[in-house]
A and B are shown apart, each in its own frame.
Chain A
Amino acid sequence: MEMGRNLIEIKNLTKRFGDVTVVNNISLDIKENEFVTLLGPSGCGKTTTLRMIGGFEEPDEGQIFFEGKLLNPIPAYKRNINTVFQRYALFTHMNVFENIAFGLRIKKIPKNEIEKRVKRMLKLVDLEGFEERYVDSLSGGQQQRVAIARALVNEPKVLLLDEPLGALDLKLRKEMQIELLDMQRSVGITFIYVTHDQEEALTMSDTIVVMNNGVIQQVGTPEDIYNEPINRFVADFIGESNIIEAIMPEDCKVAFDNVVLDCVDKGFAPNEPVDIVIRPEDIRIVTNPDEGMIKGTVRSVVFKGVHYEMIIESDAGREYMVHRTIAFPVGSYVGMNVQPFDIQVMKRGDPL
């Protein structure tokens, strides 16, 4: 899949509701055919950002450009952008066919052409034969597909999706994630996807935009975001992590709790205070404590399906979360090792 030039450019966008700044001076470029996810906890401004792109909220400051043209003054109904709403927002007084055909009818597309395009969409979302059904009689997953078809049939350049899978159960959600990805690849349009589910974001996105308190924390590929979180918030929000306050006595060394570990990060001032992240799955356990960089006692073991989650308390009293496929008995004294490239060093931010 190729990604081309910038399709949407957001410049210094700000939105306030009363005294609360919901979106605070964000800038972001989105490319053609890109699957971008706005990820963050509720209230972080991700949905408001999406709604400004869709034209449902007016920015207080800043500009949104679409194919180089200023989008701000254009009302929602004239934007070549379509949205899949959180609660689907289907038209309950229409059947499935009319729901999907709604946008095409407004554009005065000839009848047989509408028929053809709606049928094609129904096939894409796997709802052939549902034309005459009323949307109230459909399951959540089916309503979801109608909502997607209703948006995609207009062949928008950009599809906005506001937590579209939030109302579905876990299994259906996983299936729909794969289907949505397939659809995005096959129709080749830009998806801007809002979610608070980090796993969903990691699974689907080309680019993840992590937001908190109306500010973009980090923009990157899922691998970047997961492996090299830029600050404590991102590290904590994406996946499980051990976040440790440390200092860097010199390049490629971190020190905490009387241990000095090798790492691969450079460029910090000598003895600069930093936060380091070690993912639970990156800690290896050895039965002989003397072979470990950090020694500790297993405090608890919980079976999680794919792996065991163990809490190991080091001699210095720090608790580490460790994910391993082999369990070590509670109370056993073990050693822990971490590879230098598995230690992510971040600038010290505000404590959480």
Chain B
Amino acid sequence: MKKRVRILAYPYVVWMAIFIVVPLFLVLIYSLTSGDIHDINSLQFSFESYQKVAEPLYLKVIGDSFLLAFISTVICLILGYPVAMIIANANPKYRSLLLMLFLVPIWMNFLLRTYAWMSILSPNGIINRFLAFLGLPRLEIMPGNVAVLLGMVYNFLPFMVLPIYTVLSKIDKQVLEASSDLGGNRVVTFTRIILPLSIPGVVSGITMVFLPAVSTFVISGLLGGGKTPLIGDLIEQQFLFSRNWHFGSALSIILMIMILISMAIMSRIDKNGQEEGGKAG
């Protein structure tokens, strides 16, 4: 029985090996070499690409990427938590409908959604035409970081709401009643019961928003107009246009390491948060 089940996993293991482990390994090799990528004999071990990453120009790109991802994650959290609460507290009859309404945008193609934002925000877009119609000054946010943030928040908000909603909807109503029974008003019940119990959802929401946000390249290209290149754009550029696969690979490895570090920090916060809830609550 056990053996059979294991056999079922083989195709997946093979898949993983061919399409994930091998490419990752190649990326690592490219990042640590220089020379013509099409000619194996010309490849030489080199830290050149990593030295390039350390140049101020590129460090700024990485910094900008993390900053924008951080800001959009915070905005998603601030917007998403109340939404998740509202859905979780809604009448069960309408809960799934509400959730679906909220998730419908995800069903549409990511690019389409971003193009839609372009036509709304662009200098001759819907908003500006409406403002012009009213005789008001133009809104000049696109291209720019504000438009990029808007696009990121819009695209990634559902990934914040879903995990928080899942955790909130699992909290036993009787536990909240117990809090008010013991003298806790709404504020106390929220800060000492609901919030600490929802930390795991918040942590996975932050992870699920921060990761795609930090590595995104379409949003910044389309809505930011290349004003603030992000690390994702830079990697795309290296592979598709500059043809510098070594540098692109080095950037990818650096991004991966930084993501792994931030995930490790998040899981630490998750654990601490729960323990602290126990002590402080």
Decide if A103 touches B182 in the complex (CB within 8 Å): yes
Binds B, one of A76-84, A223-231, A342-350: A76-84
Decide if B184 touches A92 in the complex (CB within 8 Å): no
Residue pairs across A and B with Cβ atoms less than 8 A apart, 24 shown, are: A54-B181, A56-B180, A76-B177, A76-B180, A76-B181, A77-B180, A77-B182, A77-B183, A81-B181, A83-B177, A83-B178, A85-B174, A89-B178, A90-B175, A91-B179, A92-B197, A93-B277, A94-B277, A98-B278, A102-B179, A102-B182, A102-B192, A103-B182, A134-B278
- Whole-angstrom distance between the Cβ of A83 and the nearest chain B Cβ: 5
Query: Which chain B positions have C-beta within 8 A of A134?
Result: 278
> Does A279 sit at the interface, judged by CB under 8 A?
no
- Chain B residues 172 to 205 lying within 8 A of chain A, measured CB to CB, are 172, 174-175, 177-185, 188, 192-193, 196-197
Query: Which chain B positions have C-beta within 8 A of A54?
Result: 177, 181
Cα A82 to Cα B180 in complex, Å, equals 10
> Does B38 sit at the interface, judged by CB under 8 A?
no
Which 6 pairs, one residue from A and one from B, show the smallest C-beta to C-beta distance? A103-B182, A89-B174, A89-B178, A93-B277, A77-B180, A106-B183
- Whole-angstrom distance between the Cβ of B93 and the nearest chain A Cβ: 13
> Does B274 sit at the interface, judged by CB under 8 A?
yes
Cα A110 to Cα B75 in complex, Å, equals 38
Query: Which chain B positions have C-beta within 8 A of A98?
Result: 278-279, 281
Query: Which chain A positions have C-beta within 8 A of B277?
Result: 93-94
Query: Which chain B positions have C-beta within 8 A of A76?
Result: 177, 180-181
Q: Of all chain A residues, which has the CB nearest B197?
A: A93
Cα A86 to Cα B181 in complex, Å, equals 14
Given contacts A94-B281, A103-B183, A106-B188, 5 further A-B contacts (CB under 8 A): A55-B181, A77-B184, A87-B174, A89-B172, A89-B177
Annotate A123-156 by CB proximity to B: 1 below 8 A, 0 otherwise: 0000000000010000000000000001100100
Decide: A93 near B281, CB < 8 A? Known: A85-B174, A106-B188: yes
Q: Of all chain B residues, which has the CB nearest A103?
A: B182
Q: How many A-B residue pairs have CB under 8 A?
A: 77
Query: Which chain B positions have C-beta within 8 A of A92?
Result: 197
Annotate B247-281 by CB proximity to A: 1 below 8 A, 0 otherwise: 00000000000000000000000000010011101
Query: Which chain B positions have C-beta within 8 A of A75?
Result: 180, 185
Residues of chain A whose beta carbon lies under 8 Å from any beta carbon of chain B: 54-56, 75-78, 81-83, 85-87, 89-95, 98, 102-103, 106-107, 134, 150-151, 154
- Whole-angstrom distance between the Cβ of B269 and the nearest chain A Cβ: 15
Query: Which chain A positions have C-beta within 8 A of B281?
Result: 91, 93-94, 98, 102
Cα A80 to Cα B57 in complex, Å, equals 65
Cα A107 to Cα B188 in complex, Å, equals 11
Decide if B278 touches A86 in the complex (CB within 8 Å): no
Query: Which chain B positions have C-beta within 8 A of A102?
Result: 179, 182, 184, 192, 281
Query: Which chain B positions have C-beta within 8 A of A82?
Result: 181-182
Query: Which chain B positions have C-beta within 8 A of A93?
Result: 196-197, 274, 277-278, 281
Q: Of all chain B residues, which has the CB nearest A75?
A: B180
CB-contact partner of B182 in A56, A86, A95, A154, under 8 A? A154
Decide if B174 touches A86 in the complex (CB within 8 Å): yes
Decide if A106 touches B184 in the complex (CB within 8 Å): yes
Cα A85 to Cα B176 in complex, Å, equals 11
Query: Which chain A positions have C-beta within 8 A of B178?
Result: 83, 85, 89-91, 150
- Whole-angstrom distance between the Cβ of B209 and the nearest chain A Cβ: 24
Q: Of all chain B residues, which has the CB nearest A150?
A: B182
Decide: A83 near B196, CB < 8 A? Known: A91-B281, A94-B281, A134-B278: no
Cα A76 to Cα B174 in complex, Å, equals 13
- Whole-angstrom distance between the Cβ of A209 and the nearest chain B Cβ: 22
